[in-house]
Structure 1
């Protein structure tokens, strides 16, 4: 069982894990099936403002998502911290995150099947 913990966030409607560290400095390997993105903070302050595959300057942190995030033609997304990057005030491991998403998927699938039966 994995022990390293991460902060649980919502990024543009997707449930993600966040760490202020770069992925290469984590104690555990990132599980297969998770997508990694880095966040850049603004030049004027320390507000997170850009999501990309790799951030070289002003690295704010790293997020992990079960589903890919479309970065568009530019290869990055500008975002607003108070609207697009919401702290859900939970701490969890990779395993807990994957298990929670799997449970939510199973519940949604059951609800869809019930609607089809009706």
Structure 2
């Protein structure tokens, strides 16, 4: 998963919705990728909607499905399936994401894993 962050995100990534407590955009992305890698198995990502804008921005609405088999985002493994949606607005330069706005439905995920 570290290779994903290295190949898809610019090292000086600007994250407009940074992970609290992280020192930079790329550190935050590595954290998010690690939480998914360590907390879920059978992970499947599906692009529900994608549109490339003339300004160089790309809008993605996606869905992730998986099984919660490890600690993730402060929630102990529950062995429950999860379906989570989110939206990313990214600027891509030379094949790497250089800037990102992202919203994940974390409340949706938390309710599936804890109730």
Between Structure 1 and Structure 2, whose CA radius of gyration is higher?
Answer: 1
Give the structure-1-normalised TM-score.
Answer: 0.28
Q: Report 1 or 2 for greater relative contact order, CA contacts < 8 Å, sequence distance ≥ 6.
A: 1
From the two aligned structures, give the one with the greater strand fraction.
Answer: 2
Give the structure-2-normalised TM-score.
Answer: 0.28
